[in-house]
Chains A and B, each alone.
Chain A
Amino acid sequence: MMNRRPVSRSIAHVGLTLTVAFGVLAAGAGYWQVFRSPDLTSAADNPAVIAAARNVVRGKILDRDGKVLATTRRDDNGDPYRVYPERSVTPVVGYSSRRFGTAGLERSYAAELVGLTDPDPIRNLLKKFETDPSDPKTLTLSLSLPLQKAAVRGLGSDRGAVVMIDPRTGEVLALASTPTFDASAIANPATEQQGFAAARDGAGKPLLNRATQGRYVPGSVFKIVTAIAALGSGAISPTTTFPNQSRAERDGLVVNGFRIREHKGVPVRTFDLAHATEVSSNVFFALVGLKTGGANLTEYAAKLGFGGDTGFDLPVAPSQVTNGNGDQPGGFVDDVELANASYGQGETFVTPFQMALVAATVANGGELMRPHLVTALTGRSGTRTVAPASLRRVITQEEAAAINVAMVRAVEGPLGRQFTPGADVPGMTVAGKSGTAELGGSGEPHSWFIGFAPANDPQIAIAVLVERGGRGAERAVPLGGSLLKTYFDTVAK
């Protein structure tokens, strides 16, 4: 029997099946194009990423006066490559190479420099309607090229680091690490192999950014951290003295049977904070640390940025007061470790960048500003500036003022001058603290200096580290003084 109805009904079934099948196709397209789009689009072997790295002309990087730190040239094929005219800024700017990837600001600001993504999601969506969707941003840094060059020149053939920060804003004006390397050689396709090999295998590990990634025994510069913790927690006041100190200066301070000995040149008597800072008394700060307690010491160190993220533009190795595997408060093993840590020996390791933040916090009246390098991003769509921002208040104005006074005496006081010759800047008062990090065994200690100037209205804070530079007074202190002077001669003139 030929029955007409079923054919058209089964045709309707078939039509429904195909409609559902095409619905599945649409869902599949939605899965890849919306749900999986972000991670697939940023995959390293996605041609868009490769092409962006190859074809997009990255934005320039400029110093605070507009001097070019990174720019782009084109090779014979018309493909762009990066050129870095200033070797001194390599720890900051890093490099961008087709073969070896990116480092420094070239890495942390890759998305902005390439201009493929915009932090604003709406603008990201609307970019598709522009003819050229990439909007590379030019980065303007707070870095001062003359100051940076002076720092690298001052470090000379030594391995070391200099960090200079405007304490009022958190702007980084110098971030030097020696030895430097030739970033242009890594970025240039013609020399990339040799350039990278030279930087990777060179004497003194040039690729290591000592300012942010190098962690060193701090020695006496850590006493400022101990002072901040002690005053901030109320353990001591600026006038606190320890009656048992006088004897301990002579015979050593016995802690749990371990005898802490004073270094030479410290008079045998009791001091207050300022006096102890001037003569850099190990015994005084050991006593202060014991009174403050491990919990307070690590807590205030953390407020200064130890072990945490300060939101800086470059990755920073976490500094530590202790390994933290002890069961005493703060993670110390015992009071001996706490006492040693309080004057910067023990298991304490810090980056020069972290010590610059310590100096800047004191200089800024106890308030830590978020450290930053990039002050403006300029693209087709205009300029976005980075405003100074407070990270947190660590101690009160009064407490900071007391430490300020103590650090002034360390530079200007009759005894302090012996430890900090050459830290003074003509015509103004400098606050500072030297450090000599004993490494045990033979060989010269690390030479440290942290400070700021002018003491009554601080505009610049500094941390200097010279590996195996000898006593603080011999190397880091005069370098710090001359760089402070350079700052007032060039940047703040």
Chain B
Amino acid sequence: MNADGPSTPAAPALPRILGPIRPRPRWREARLLAVVAVAIVVGSVSLALAQRAPDAPPGGLEPAEPFHLAVYLGVLFLAHLAQVLAGRRTDQILLPAVGLLGGISLLLMERLPQNLVVQTLGDTDLGLADVQLVWLVLSIALATTLAIVVRSDRWLRLYKYTWAAAGVALLLMTFVLGTEINGQRLTLSFGPVSGQPSELLKVILVVFLAGYLSENRSLLVEQSTRVGPISLPPLPYLAPMVAMWAIALGIVVVQRDLGAALLFFAVFLLLLYTATGRPGYVVLGLILFVVGAFVMYQLVDHVRTRVDIWLDPFADPSGAGYQVVQSLYAFARGGLLGTGLGGGLPLISGRLPIPAIQTDFPLAALGEELGLIGIMAILGIYLVVIERGLRIGAAARDDFRALLASGLALVVGVQAFIIAAGNLKLIPLTGITLPFISYGGSSLLVNGIVVGLLLALSDKGVEPPPPPRQPGRLARLARRAAG
């Protein structure tokens, strides 16, 4: 509490672009990164042994593609070093956790056939692991840059409607200009550069929701309309929910992207609950979801197909249900301990058993080779990431920041849940990526942004948050004394 009892600055303070920068050691992060490095090196050696077996003589314990491994670990270390030099008091667990997931991704891409993805750059052909390494490096660099540079949330806080407009524009552009791949209109191409805007949209959605909800929170919490036993918010404030619902349905119909629609709507509901603490919203949202899902199932062919496959993939194991059945076979082959990296995924006529394994089914591949134990570990790492993000949100002393950080954590967590549950036949399969693990530039870069923003938001020291609006204790005491 400041003695002068600050009361005025409702607008955020100006960013301090050039503050005194003093290096600050991050021992916890360093220790955890060391553990991560050991884990990845061990995994790489195990992969190399599996790939050389059984003919090669045991010449030594060399890692698979030592160059890739060195680059990746080097970049992780540089990210750590840069944050030490920047001297910010940011979270020290996020980077190692995400670094471990990225390392698992790199190992998986090393292990899969390299010709699954070939990008030609000049005269050199880059294979799956090469390309993924490039994206991983860029993603970590992006996260670190944001973690160091972002000293203010003003640019996010003040322009929420601009962001929303940008998001809607992006969505419309994808609707209209998007390229259709496998019956889904998800990709937007500009010359040689192409990407999946829905990945970026999820961040924009969180930024907008954090701004909107923090501004209208008191209204949403305090007023209510009673409909029977349920207490609902005032009807005008339901408009955003209905709008969000409509957008999600639009994504399902136009883009055929069930995963993104599910992700957006789930994150919206969870953030709405976070902001208001009112279960009534969740109930209402779930009712809307059930109605929407039912209508979509009746009216939209590809939704019905997906759901039917989910209900009984074994009805057509070599046709419609092939991908899901093969995924379940892969999990089953892994068993408790797994086949070991490089020991699974038997080829049929030289082809991998699961189509689109590197984007849609990395969890099935990891489930086979690392076993149930490995799956538990990976799910655990995601929980750590979620927990750190939510903790950053809970510790933020400002609604916008709290909702922003929670929302960013939720985007990662819910997305991981949706695709993992789809792989495990708990819910219908959707084509979204497994954060930090799936192959793909858009996904890795956007998740890099998420991590960078979370790190920046976790800073406990440099910029004080806007002071509370109620009068300070001294002022109250003074008033009481006066009254």
B393-428, CB < 8 A from A: 393-395, 397, 399, 402-403, 406, 410, 413-414, 417, 420-421, 424-426
Judged by a CB distance under 8 angstroms, whether A428 is at the interface is: no
Judged by a CB distance under 8 angstroms, whether B270 is at the interface is: yes
Judged by a CB distance under 8 angstroms, whether A29 is at the interface is: yes
Convert A1-45 into 0s and 1s, putting 1 for each residue whose CB lies closer than 8 angstroms to a CB of B: 110101111111111011101101110111011101100110101
Contacts known (A10-B273, A26-B375, A132-B54); A51 close to B347, Cβ less than 8 A: yes
> How many residue pairs between the two chains, A and B, have CB atoms under 8 Å in the bound complex?
158
Judged by a CB distance under 8 angstroms, whether A48 is at the interface is: yes
| Chain B residues within an 8 Å CB radius of A50 | 346, 348
Expressed in whole angstroms, the Cα–Cα distance for A459 and B53 within the complex equals 48
Interface segment out of the listed B13-21, B141-149, B194-202, B378-386? B378-386
Judged by a CB distance under 8 angstroms, whether A101 is at the interface is: no
Expressed in whole angstroms, the Cα–Cα distance for A21 and B410 within the complex equals 12
Expressed in whole angstroms, the Cα–Cα distance for A43 and B222 within the complex equals 58
Whether A29 and B424, one on each chain, are in contact in the complex, defined by CB atoms closer than 8 angstroms, is yes
Judged by a CB distance under 8 angstroms, whether A133 is at the interface is: yes
Whether A48 and B346, one on each chain, are in contact in the complex, defined by CB atoms closer than 8 angstroms, is yes
Judged by a CB distance under 8 angstroms, whether A131 is at the interface is: yes
Judged by a CB distance under 8 angstroms, whether A128 is at the interface is: yes
Convert B262-282 into 0s and 1s, putting 1 for each residue whose CB lies closer than 8 angstroms to a CB of A: 000000001001111100000
Whether B386 and A7, one on each chain, are in contact in the complex, defined by CB atoms closer than 8 angstroms, is no
Contacts known (A24-B426, A25-B417, A29-B331); A34 close to B336, Cβ less than 8 A: yes
| Chain B residues within an 8 Å CB radius of A41 | 329, 332-333, 335
Convert B307-326 into 0s and 1s, putting 1 for each residue whose CB lies closer than 8 angstroms to a CB of A: 00000000001100000011
Judged by a CB distance under 8 angstroms, whether A46 is at the interface is: yes
Contacts known (A9-B277, A26-B375); A4 close to B348, Cβ less than 8 A: no
Whether B337 and A7, one on each chain, are in contact in the complex, defined by CB atoms closer than 8 angstroms, is no
| Chain A residues within an 8 Å CB radius of B343 | 128, 133
Expressed in whole angstroms, the Cα–Cα distance for A6 and B276 within the complex equals 8
Contacts known (A8-B394, A18-B417, A45-B317); A128 close to B340, Cβ less than 8 A: yes
Min CB distance B106 to A, Å, is 22
Judged by a CB distance under 8 angstroms, whether B453 is at the interface is: no
| Chain B residues within an 8 Å CB radius of A19 | 383
Whether A7 and B274, one on each chain, are in contact in the complex, defined by CB atoms closer than 8 angstroms, is yes
Select A22's contact among B49, B326, B383, B468, beta carbons within 8 Å. Answer: B383
Closest residue of B by beta carbon distance from A15: B390
Whether B399 and A12, one on each chain, are in contact in the complex, defined by CB atoms closer than 8 angstroms, is no
Closest residue of A by beta carbon distance from B54: A132
Judged by a CB distance under 8 angstroms, whether A47 is at the interface is: yes
Select B270's contact among A4, A14, A28, A37, beta carbons within 8 Å. Answer: A14
Expressed in whole angstroms, the Cα–Cα distance for A14 and B407 within the complex equals 11
Judged by a CB distance under 8 angstroms, whether A125 is at the interface is: yes
| Chain B residues within an 8 Å CB radius of A2 | 217-218, 399, 468-470
Convert A418-460 into 0s and 1s, putting 1 for each residue whose CB lies closer than 8 angstroms to a CB of B: 0000000000000000000000000000000000000000000
Expressed in whole angstroms, the Cα–Cα distance for A132 and B343 within the complex equals 8
Judged by a CB distance under 8 angstroms, whether B50 is at the interface is: yes
Interface centre among A2, A129, A132 (most CB of B within 10 A): A2
Min CB distance B160 to A, Å, is 18
Expressed in whole angstroms, the Cα–Cα distance for A128 and B329 within the complex equals 17
| Chain B residues within an 8 Å CB radius of A45 | 317-318, 325
Judged by a CB distance under 8 angstroms, whether B440 is at the interface is: no
Expressed in whole angstroms, the Cα–Cα distance for A51 and B53 within the complex equals 17
Expressed in whole angstroms, the Cα–Cα distance for A45 and B318 within the complex equals 9
Expressed in whole angstroms, the Cα–Cα distance for A47 and B376 within the complex equals 25
Contacts known (A14-B274, A15-B386, A33-B371); A132 close to B53, Cβ less than 8 A: yes
| Chain B residues within an 8 Å CB radius of A48 | 329, 333, 346
Convert A123-135 into 0s and 1s, putting 1 for each residue whose CB lies closer than 8 angstroms to a CB of B: 0010011011100
Select B49's contact among A10, A18, A46, A131, beta carbons within 8 Å. Answer: A131
Contacts known (A1-B218, A25-B379, A26-B379); A131 close to B394, Cβ less than 8 A: no
B442-483, CB < 8 A from A: 468-470
Closest residue of A by beta carbon distance from B349: A54
Q: Please, could you name 9 A-B residue pairs with CB atoms under 8 Å apart, sorted by A? A: A2-B469, A8-B394, A8-B395, A10-B276, A32-B331, A37-B334, A52-B346, A125-B336, A132-B54
3 nearest CB pairs, A to B: A131-B53, A40-B332, A51-B346
| Interface set of A (CB-CB < 8 Å, partner B) | 1-2, 4, 6-15, 17-19, 21-22, 24-26, 28-30, 32-34, 36-37, 40-41, 43, 45-48, 50-52, 55, 125, 128-129, 131-133
Q: A45-B325, A125-B337 are in contact. List 20 more A-B contacts (CB 8 A).
A: A2-B399, A7-B403, A10-B275, A10-B276, A11-B274, A12-B390, A15-B387, A18-B383, A18-B413, A18-B417, A22-B382, A28-B424, A29-B424, A33-B335, A36-B332, A40-B328, A46-B329, A51-B348, A128-B339, A131-B54
